[in-house]
Amino acid sequence: MANLKEIRNRISSIGSTMKITSAMKMVSAAKLKKAQDAIVQMRPYSNKLSELLQNLSATLDMEDGGAFTVQKGDDRVLIVAITSNRGLCGGFNSSIIKEVIHMASSKYAGKKVTVLTIGKKGNDILKKSFDIYRNEGKVFDDLTFENVAPIAEDLMDKFAGGEFDKIDLVYNRFKNAATQIITHEQYLPIVPPESGTESNTDYIFEPNKEEIVKGLIPKSLKMQLFKALRDSLAAEHGARMTAMHKATDNATELRDELLLVYNKARQAAITNEILEIVGGAEALNN
Other C-beta atoms lying within 10 Å of the C-beta of residue 190: 21
List the one residue out of 12, 34, 15 whose CA is nearest residue 23.
15
In the set 56, 79, 81, 89, the catalytic residue is 89
Residue 96: Cβ-neighbour burial (10 angstroms; 0-12, 13-18, 19+): buried
Q: Which of 257, 278, 268 is CA-nearest to residue 3?
A: 268
CA–CA separation, 143 and 233 (whole Å): 9
Q: Where are the alpha helices (DSSP H) in the chain?
A: 2-58, 92-105, 120-126, 145-160, 209-285
Contact 70, 189 (CB under 8 A): yes
| Count of residues in the chain | 286
89 labelled catalytic: yes
Helix (H, G, I), strand (E, B) or coil at 86: coil
- Label residues 268-284 b or e (16+ Cβ within 10 Å = b): eeeeeeeeeeeeeeeee
Tell me which DSSP letter residue 192 carries: P
Active-site annotation, residues:
89
